[in-house]
Chains A and B, each alone.
Chain A
Amino acid sequence: MVKKILKFLAFSLFFVLALVAFTPKESFYFLLEKNLKKFDVVVSNEILESNFFGLEIENLEISTKGVESATVEQANITLLLFYNSLKFTDVKLSSLVDAYVPSHIQTIEVTYTLFNPLVLYVNAEGKFGKAEVAFNILDRVLNAHLYPSKIMLSKYKKTMKMMKKDENGEYVYAKTF
């Protein structure tokens, strides 16, 4: 019986991986773009390259409501169904946000795993310091922890005022959507 279950699981895993490998990832990306367009978010001039379990995108220019908001040197999408991630590297925000945060972000990584299906995790690192964000999909609650850099603390005091300090002295931000 155990042997049969293991055999079934093995075949299922093989089927899932085969499905992921054959999935037209670029077409899914185009579908994502069309959905983002509904929110006035457009990604332009990107170069797509699909691989076995994901998609590599270079040179993304992101605009919101027609305003150039950010450029991203590289984005990697990994789809394994039970573990999915989206990693942005070398993000430069528009100069319009210069007064609020340092415009360069080294990495932003969004992960979603079936082992914790109700939470979406975001980790970011850049000149601003480090940020860890957890978004509960069911409750629609966002909790963020910020570990600010010296620049962030000294030059962006107005933004830091939006954050609260918890009992451990860490900067936290919570919002319900």
Chain B
Amino acid sequence: MQKLSNTKLIAVISKLLVLLLIAKIIALVVWWYLPSEGVALHAKKSYQAKYQRVQFSNMLLHSKAADVAGLEKTKTKAYSINNLLLKGLYGSKFNGFVIVAKKSSPKKTEITAVGESYEGYKLKQIDLNNVTFTKASKEYILSLKESKNKMSDVFTKVKRTTSASEDEKQVTREDIKRYSNNPSQIWKDIAIAPLKKAGKIVGFKVNRIKKNSKMATLGLKKGDVITKANNVKLSSFNDALKLYKNIDKIDTIALTIQRDNQEKEIIYEIR
């Protein structure tokens, strides 16, 4: 009988196919036991201060209507609130309060908290530069004046304060630059460690402050736990470092700290 093919070649090919099959089976078994998805970090993309600070006393003493005149717009054209001014806001989303006045008497301001009403408008929520009121199931947005002067006007008022309270500190950009150029100096002057509860970071504890250093003049004390910066909870290293990275863009920082079981706020004005 005549050979149709080379049996040696078929034997080799068969062996190779068997090896391929075994390799594939092993790979499938391994694949079955390996994870099907990886790990990703879901971090906030950018740090934004969620509040705007207003010095009430200065505002009432020195305010000029035009300085922080509101610019309003409504989601619906059913009703206009053109006669109202938003002079300041404090808080974020559903916590906090706003300072409002009528255009006809801008010096006569009133403080309205979320959930309270002013001239028939109920304050629903506070955003970065505007607030939302509701009336008759309709929403109205009242904004701070959209101008370059908006922030500087408010902070100019702060600067006019002659007797800053104990909890208000002034920091120069030069100080910040000096520390950012020499970060190791930060850790020489202050030791901060995360404070964890149930495995989660609830704040950053000040363990040491070097005497006679710039850090010692900032109002922080050993044992303080910094829980928030500009109303943003510091619940990870990333939250703290985002503040550090964006410090050049920020004019004011309000640190919420826990001291002797009491919450305290220290405000830094960066000049």
> Could you tell me the distance between the alpha carbons of A95 and B236 in the complex, rounded to whole angstroms?
18
Other-chain residue from B15, B16, B35, B237 in contact with A34 (beta carbon distance below 8 A): B35
The answer to whether A18 and B20 touch (CB under 8 A), given A44-B41, A66-B237, is yes
Q: Return chain B residues, CB-CB under 8 Å to A28.
A: 34
Beta-carbon nearest neighbor of A97 in chain B: B183
Among the stretches B25-33, B70-78, B168-176, the one at the interface with A is: B25-33
> Could you tell me the distance between the alpha carbons of A45 and B39 in the complex, rounded to whole angstroms?
10
| Shortest distance between the CB of B9 and any CB in chain A (Å) | 14
Question: Which residues of B, 232-246, contact A by the 8 Å Cβ criterion?
Answer: 236-238, 241, 244-245
| Shortest distance between the CB of B32 and any CB in chain A (Å) | 9
| Shortest distance between the CB of B23 and any CB in chain A (Å) | 4
Contact size range, B:
20 to 34
Other-chain residue from A42, A96, A99 in contact with B41 (beta carbon distance below 8 A): A42
Dominant secondary structure at the A interface: helix
The answer to whether A24 and B19 touch (CB under 8 A), given A19-B27, A96-B241, A99-B182, is no
Query: With an 8 A cutoff between CB atoms, is A15 at the interface?
Result: yes
Q: Return chain B residues, CB-CB under 8 Å to A43.
A: 38-40
Query: With an 8 A cutoff between CB atoms, is A158 at the interface?
Result: yes
The answer to whether A22 and B182 touch (CB under 8 A), given A66-B237, A67-B241, is no
Contact A24 B237, beta carbon cutoff 8 Å: no
Q: Return chain A residues, CB-CB under 8 Å to B23.
A: 15, 18-19, 21-22
Other-chain residue from B26, B31, B184, B244 in contact with A19 (beta carbon distance below 8 A): B26
| Shortest distance between the CB of A79 and any CB in chain B (Å) | 13
Query: With an 8 A cutoff between CB atoms, is A4 at the interface?
Result: no
Beta-carbon nearest neighbor of A35 in chain B: B39
Beta-carbon nearest neighbor of A22 in chain B: B27
Contact A158 B16, beta carbon cutoff 8 Å: no
Residues 166-205 of chain B, each 1 if its beta carbon lies under 8 Å from chain A, else 0: 0000000000000011111000000000000000000000
Query: With an 8 A cutoff between CB atoms, is B22 at the interface?
Result: yes
The answer to whether A22 and B39 touch (CB under 8 A), given A14-B19, A66-B236, is no
Q: Return chain A residues, CB-CB under 8 Å to B180.
A: 99
> Could you tell me the distance between the alpha carbons of A37 and B38 in the complex, rounded to whole angstroms?
10
Q: Return chain B residues, CB-CB under 8 Å to A61.
A: 41
> Could you tell me the distance between the alpha carbons of A173 and B205 in the complex, rounded to whole angstroms?
34
| Max chain B Cβ within 10 angstroms of own Cβ: one of A18, A61, A68, A158 | A18
Query: With an 8 A cutoff between CB atoms, is B4 at the interface?
Result: no
Contact A27 B238, beta carbon cutoff 8 Å: no
Residues 15-33 of chain A, each 1 if its beta carbon lies under 8 Å from chain B, else 0: 1001101111001111101
Query: With an 8 A cutoff between CB atoms, is B36 at the interface?
Result: yes
> Could you tell me the distance between the alpha carbons of A42 and B39 in the complex, rounded to whole angstroms?
7
Contact A24 B34, beta carbon cutoff 8 Å: yes
Q: Return chain B residues, CB-CB under 8 Å to A67.
A: 236-238, 241
Other-chain residue from A30, A37, A42 in contact with B34 (beta carbon distance below 8 A): A30
Contact B238 A33, beta carbon cutoff 8 Å: no
> Could you tell me the distance between the alpha carbons of A36 and B182 in the complex, rounded to whole angstroms?
31
| Shortest distance between the CB of A38 and any CB in chain B (Å) | 10
Contact B30 A63, beta carbon cutoff 8 Å: no
Query: With an 8 A cutoff between CB atoms, is B43 at the interface?
Result: yes
| Shortest distance between the CB of A98 and any CB in chain B (Å) | 9
> Could you tell me the distance between the alpha carbons of A140 and B237 in the complex, rounded to whole angstroms?
29
Contact B19 A29, beta carbon cutoff 8 Å: no
> Could you tell me the distance between the alpha carbons of A67 and B201 in the complex, rounded to whole angstroms?
14
The answer to whether A24 and B183 touch (CB under 8 A), given A63-B238, A67-B241, is no
Query: With an 8 A cutoff between CB atoms, is A65 at the interface?
Result: yes
B residues sitting closer than 8 Å to A (CB atoms) are 15-16, 19-20, 22-24, 26-27, 30-31, 34-41, 43, 180-184, 236-238, 241, 244-245
The list of the 7 closest CB pairs from A to B, nearest first, reads A27-B34, A22-B27, A18-B23, A24-B31, A66-B236, A33-B38, A66-B238
Contacts A24-B30, A29-B38, A44-B41 known; 16 new A-B pairs at CB < 8 A: A11-B16, A14-B16, A18-B19, A24-B34, A27-B35, A30-B34, A30-B37, A30-B38, A43-B39, A63-B41, A63-B43, A66-B41, A66-B236, A67-B236, A67-B237, A67-B238
